[in-house]
């Protein structure tokens, strides 16, 4: 009894933009400070979510924009329209923390979104980063030993959601990640791979995808020019309309926990809670641990899977 894929299944879509559109977008993006570009995109995405009535303004007549107009947001934040417009265009601005506080309040940002705003704005004040030397991610030997003795499914994800290691119980639930090329062992690439997920259903696929995308957004905020992030986001942006839609939301997740549904042939659906635990490094990999409520049917199913796996291992 083993799962057939390392990700929950759901139908994906392919909708390729024209090469000219992609080239034009990349040309504009490459001319901006990477953090200023991220800041501009984040501000536009958050502004588009607000309606005039959400902030006590009259909608007025026909509106050509989704959400608030720039001048309306600037008014709420106590800024000039020109100044705020330059921020949304990624132009040379260095907002003070007081200005950022005012913008966060006007946009109604939560704590994670507010920290994200400050991270991007502070980084945008500095000169554009030069080519950096980045050490490859590694899983400490002590963590690998811990994975092997844990009696619950667990795995290690890199900062860009690369699957770095996993224990036998995680393999029972997820399928064998070793069946895939190393450079494809990434939770986002796997979730949006139509060839592996197009023939199965998953009721909470979008929620899980948003969690992973939010984690990637947080990683990009600390290093927007990292080649691994650029490769993953670039590939999925060209290949998947669904990814483009969700990525454009600019959701952020710092430390994520939640629940996840696993569809295991012969055992049915198993719903487990999951939590992330940071490993050494700044930022570094995280361990993801899956657990079930003691005494619940899901705990019984998980225990059965563990017992069957142990029996097969002894016979092998």
Q: 3-state DSSP call for residue 74?
A: helix
Q: What is the pTM of this model?
A: 0.79
pLDDT digits (tens, 9 = 90+) for 26-59: 344 445 678 888 999 999 999 999 988 888 887 7
Domains of the chain: 32-125 (1.10.260.40), 141-315 (3.30.450.180)
pLDDT band, residue 294 (cuts 50/70/90): very high
Q: Which is more confidently placed, 84 or 262?
A: 84
Q: Which is more confidently placed, 81 or 127?
A: 81
DSSP string computed for 75-100: HHHT--HHHHHHHHTT-S----HHHH
CA distance 285 to 138: 8
pLDDT band, residue 9 (cuts 50/70/90): very low
Q: Are 161 and 6 in contact (CB under 8 A)?
A: no
Q: What pLDDT was estimated at residue 29?
A: 42
> 7, 10, 302, 9: which is closest to 168 by C-alpha?
302
CA distance 316 to 299: 26
Q: Are 252 and 113 in contact (CB under 8 A)?
A: yes
Place of tokens 């969700």: 246
- CA separation (Å) from 239 to 15, 73, 207, 215, 251? 7, 34, 20, 20, 20
């Amino acid at each position: 009894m083993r799962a057939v894929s390392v990700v929950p299944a759901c139908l994906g879509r392919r909708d390729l933009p024209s090469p000219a559109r992609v080239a034009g977008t990349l040309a504009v993006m490459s001319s901006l400070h990477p953090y200023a570009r991220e800041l501009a995109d984040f501000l536009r995405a958050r502004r588009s979510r607000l309606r005039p009535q959400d902030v006590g303004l009259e909608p007025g007549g026909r509106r050509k924009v989704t959400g608030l107009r720039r001048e309306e947001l600037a008014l709420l934040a106590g800024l000039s329209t020109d100044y705020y417009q330059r921020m949304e265009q990624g132009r040379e601005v260095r907002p003070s923390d007081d200005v950022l506080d005012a913008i966060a309040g006007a946009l109604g940002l939560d704590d994670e979104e507010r920290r994200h705003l400050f991270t991007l704005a502070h980084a945008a004040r500095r000169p554009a980063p030069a080519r950096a030397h980045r050490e490859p991610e590694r899983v400490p030997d002590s963590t690998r030993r811990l994975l092997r003795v844990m009696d619950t499914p667990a795995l290690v994800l890199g900062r860009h959601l690369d699957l770095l290691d996993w224990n036998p119980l995680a393999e029972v639930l997820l399928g064998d990640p070793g069946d895939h090329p190393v450079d494809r062992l990434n939770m986002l690439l796997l979730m949006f791979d139509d060839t592996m997920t197009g023939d199965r259903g998953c009721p909470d696929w979008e929620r899980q995808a948003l969690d992973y995308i939010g984690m990637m957004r947080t990683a990009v905020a600390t290093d927007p020019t990292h080649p691994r992030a650029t490769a993953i986001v670039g590939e999925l942006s060209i290949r998947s309309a669904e990814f483009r839609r969700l990525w454009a939301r600019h959701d952020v997740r710092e430390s994520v926990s939640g629940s996840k549904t696993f569809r295991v042939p012969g055992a049915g659906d198993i719903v487990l809670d999951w939590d992330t635990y940071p490993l050494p490094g700044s930022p570094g990999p995280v361990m993801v641990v899956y657990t079930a409520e003691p005494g619940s049917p899901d705990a019984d199913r998980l225990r059965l899977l563990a017992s069957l796996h142990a029996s097969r291992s002894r016979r092998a």
